[in-house]
Structure 1
Amino acid sequence: MLPPKLAGDYQGNQLITDNPYLAYAKAVTVLHPVIKKIGIHPTAVIADNVQLGEEIFVGAHTVIEAGCQLADRVQIGAGCYLGEQTKLGADSELHPHVTLAARSDIGQRCLIHSGAVIGADGFGLAPQADQSWFKIPQIGQVVLGNDVEVGANTTIDRAALGVTKIGQGVKLDNLIQIGHNVEIGDHSAIAAHAAIAGSTKIGQYCQIGGAAVIAGHLTIADHCIILGTALISHSIHQAGVYSSALPASDAKKWRRNAARFSKLDELHQRVVQLERELAVLNNKHHLD
């Protein structure tokens, strides 16, 4: 598979395409199709009023609680748990040991990898007079759009009120934490170890690098690229590339610079004072 500009460099059979990476992905999809299973394992525990679609598969020791709705061709691996009134859209797949808490709403053609927990309680606590914490009931839900992929051991918390919403075509890597009431716009992609605090709204077509941290109650515009390990503490209202991480350097040099961080404000004030004194001297020189 070659782009047109490289086609002349190889004399063998070629598939010429403007996007070799995408062509490769589609070719592998065709050459190595996913084999769908059909049937319900005898050890699965399924409540009486669960709605089961056609041609579904439910693996061993899976538990499906009352009121759940499974659409056609759903695939559920071994050891999964679906809480009450959970919905799973057509052609969606849960790998083994996925947890969907009560009232989770999963769209069509979603893929959720092992260990993911969707719909756990958000981190909501109210301080009391004795400085202890009172748990705030988390009574919302999580809604995933169509064609969403959720990586292994990623957690998406249910909303305190309302909905934690993951848009159409969103791709989430492993070990991501998404807080309650977060909204992620369509076709955004987030790499491993990122953390998004509660009530933040991520726009469409965003790319968020690994280990990035986004504070709560912020808004991130469409088409933003946030580089790995960045700390986002304020809203971003314009598309662009954003970073706040310092690259690695020689350890001795790093320690010297780190020791200077606490003196940056003092150094700034000294520079400002020197600029003022220099301006006075320049004015005096011109007057003379």
Structure 2
Amino acid sequence: MGDGSRRISGLATLQDAGPEQIAFVANLSYLKSLNNTRAGAVLLHPEHASECPVDHLELDNPYLGYAHLSRLFDPFLARPTGGIHPTAVVAEDARLGVGVEIGPQAVVESGVELGDEVVIGPGCVVGVNSRIGARSRLHPNVTVCHGVTIGERAILHSNCVIGGDGFGFAHDGKRWHKIAQLGGVVLGDDVEVGSCSSIDRGALDDTIIGNDVKIDSQVQIAHNVHIGDHSALAGCVGIAGSTRVGSNCMLGGGVGLAGHLTICDGVQVTGMSLVTNSIHEPGVYSSGTGAMQNAQWRKNAVRFKQLDDIARRLAKLEKRNQEG
């Protein structure tokens, strides 16, 4: 509603936006700032339109509208200019699509296939026989190891490693012996991997990350893990080997999954939880205790050790009452 010819040049918060910027209201706690905003326009839900003193766009999901709009102002997402920097090293047999851009000091090894408009940032390495789908982008210093397949429109942030060796060793009673990791990694379409995250290659079969999976920074995904479509992993999640996570799952920050588990579709695990058993029913799961004053925590820690004895005594009392 308002002036359809108004020119917008950027995005900002309700508090800081100026006349040539657009803001949004996705959280009711920010409604108090709406009356005083100087924004040129605001994205908001229709139920709040009457409270808006400036031009506005009414959307059932303003936050989703903001997400789409934000991409118009991101210079990194602009169409690549194409071309190979003189300092890049590209194998003669690498196959490059139309409009591929390869930055300074990047290395593209033998047998690599890059789809149309792929961007390989400065200092990246793309290993032997890897494939990267159209319009995918690698930020500076990403390492894609040998035999990795990445789908279309993927975004890999700086210093992530895709396809490093999984943690595989055999012990002879005295020392460890390395197990060669012979599988690869397959990333689906529209996957995003945060900075300094690692996705290990499989020991025999591939590690598989489904379509539209979003992985935050400093996440560790071990060998032979499978993650279903549309799942999201927040920072510092760790998933041990051969665990399968379903589709549309969300793992909060610091969540740990033990190895060889199955997590069904539609599971949410809250932050800092440790999952040691498979989950077969969708829903929200948590573990651990919330922070409290140390004195109270120490008392509770003592009680934790007493729980087994208390349970046994309670069972005896219940049995006695039933018999009496």
Matches within 5 A, 1:4-23: 4-23=46-65
2:70 aligned partner: 28
Aligned: 1:87 with 2:131: yes
**Amino acid corresponding to residue 173 of structure 1 in structure 2:** D
1:173 aligned partner: 216
Matches within 5 A, 1:238-277: 238-277=281-320
Identity, % of aligned positions: 46
**Contiguous gaps of at least 5 residues in structure 1:** 284-288
Secondary structure in 2 aligned to 1:15? strand
2:44 aligned partner: 2
**Contiguous gaps of at least 5 residues in structure 2:** 1-42
- Tell me the alpha carbon deviations over residues 168-191 of structure 1, each in whole angstroms, 9 at most, x when there is no partner: 000000000001000000010000
Matches within 5 A, 1:94-243: 94-128=138-172, 130-243=173-286
1:180–1:198 CA contact under 8 A, matched in 2: yes
- Tell me the alpha carbon deviations over residues 36-73 of structure 1, each in whole angstroms, 9 at most, x when there is no partner: 23211111111111111111111111111111011110
Q: How far 1:149 moved relative to its partner?
A: 0.2
Aligned: 1:59 with 2:103: yes
1:78 aligned partner: 122
TM-score calculated relative to the size of structure 1: 0.94
1:37–1:75 CA contact under 8 A, matched in 2: no
Q: How far 1:2 moved relative to its partner?
A: 1.3
- Tell me the alpha carbon deviations over residues 56-93 of structure 1, each in whole angstroms, 9 at most, x when there is no partner: 11111111111101111010111111110011110000
1:181–1:200 CA contact under 8 A, matched in 2: yes
Deviates more, 1:134-143 or 1:267-276: 267-276
- Paired residues in the alignment total 280
Q: How far 1:250 moved relative to its partner?
A: 1.6
**Amino acid corresponding to residue 41 of structure 1 in structure 2:** H
2:10 aligned partner: none
Q: How far 1:28 moved relative to its partner?
A: 1.8
TM-score calculated relative to the size of structure 2: 0.84
1:286 aligned partner: none
Q: Which has the higher contact order (CA 8 A, sep 6+)?
A: 1
Task: Name the Cα RMSD after superposition.
Answer: 1.2
